[in-house]
Structures are given as structure tokens and as C-alpha cells.
């Protein structure tokens, strides 16, 4: 890992964010609210729609960097396109992103759900995501 106080050259796009669970949660809440947070407009509704819709329609894609083949890319997040009853647990339209250090978030507009997993475990974080998702969705069942 690196010292975030020291500027780096050629910062990789998937690394380097320094944040808190609270700030991640506020960001997700803003996306789930269509661009508003605490009554203030942060992004336009159109921007949020573009961020969280499939931007690769008709383009062949692989699984690299997405949670599973059920996901594609929006603008800045992976977006689930199908498969409610297929692992990993989730709903079509949910969106997620994982970070190089293991931190992970996802938002589910259908269930008005947001989850932030803050870990600094690059390899272990990946194996925690499907377990966390399954546990959360199991808990939502009546």
C-alpha cells in the first residue's frame, strides 16, 4: 500500500481513493436519490441514469473487472443487466464497484439498498463480496 499524503505520478484509475464509510454511503445515497443528497442537487437525474445504465449495448464484453458476466459497465460503475435468481445475489439494475485495496460498494435501486464494505484486503475482499451479497439478500426475504 502507499502513503496517500505523498503525491504519486501516473495514478492508476482503480487505486488511490481515500475515503470514509460515511462518505461512500453519502455518495451511494445520492445515486439512489437520482442525484440529490439532503435536498440538494449534486448530479442531474440524466447523469445518474447514464452512470447506471448499460453503456456497452451491442459490444462484446468479458468478465474482467465486473462482479460476474451478469454485469456490464455504466459510467463509473458495473451495472447488473439480468439474472435475479442467479449468483451472485442481486437485482437487475443494481450497480457496484470494487477498489484495488478490497473496498466494495453496491446500490440496489429496486430495494432502496446500499452496502459499503470497507476492507484493506486486496485478495480477501474479492471472496467476501458474494458472501456479503448473499447474506444481505437472504436477510431481505420474508
Judged by DSSP in three states, 46 sits in helix
Predicted pLDDT at 29? 96
In this prediction the pTM is 0.82
Please answer whether residues 49 and 61 qualify as being in contact, where contact means their C-beta atoms are separated by less than 8 angstroms.
no
CA dihedral of residues 17, 18, 22, 26 (deg, nearest 10):
-30
Between CA 53 and CA 71 the distance in angstroms is 10
Q: Return the pLDDT at 47.
A: 97
Q: Which CATH number fits domain 21-140: 3.40.50.2000, 3.40.710.10, 3.50.50.60, 3.40.50.300?
A: 3.40.710.10
- The angle subtended at Cα 32 by Cα 12 and Cα 125, nearest 5°, is 45
Residue, of 54 and 102, whose pLDDT is higher: 54
Distance (Å, rounded) from C-alpha 84 to C-alpha 15? 30
pLDDT at 81 over 80: yes
Are 43 and 35 a contacting pair, CB within 8 Å? yes
Strands 104-108 and 95-98: antiparallel
| pLDDT tens sequence across 118-128 | 887 777 777 88
Amino acid at each position: 500500500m502507499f502513503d496517500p499524503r505523498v503525491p504519486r505520478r501516473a495514478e492508476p484509475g482503480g487505486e488511490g481513493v481515500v475515503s470514509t464509510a460515511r462518505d461512500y454511503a453519502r455518495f451511494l445515497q445520492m445515486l439512489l436519490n437520482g442525484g440529490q443528497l439532503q435536498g440538494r442537487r449534486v448530479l442531474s437525474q440524466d447523469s445518474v441514469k447514464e452512470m447506471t445504465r448499460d453503456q456497452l449495448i451491442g459490444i462484446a464484453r468479458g468478465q474482467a473487472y465486473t462482479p460476474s458476466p451478469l454485469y456490464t459497465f455504466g459510467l463509473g460503475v458495473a451495472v447488473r443487466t439480468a439474472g435475479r435468481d442467479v449468483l451472485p445475489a442481486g437485482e437487475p439494475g443494481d450497480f457496484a464497484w470494487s477498489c484495488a485495496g478490497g473496498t466494495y460498494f453496491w446500490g440496489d435501486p429496486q430495494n432502496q439498498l446500499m452496502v459499503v464494505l470497507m476492507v484493506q484486503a486486496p485478495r480477501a475482499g474479492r471472496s467476501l463480496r458474494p458472501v456479503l451479497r448473499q447474506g444481505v439478500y437472504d436477510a431481505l426475504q420474508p
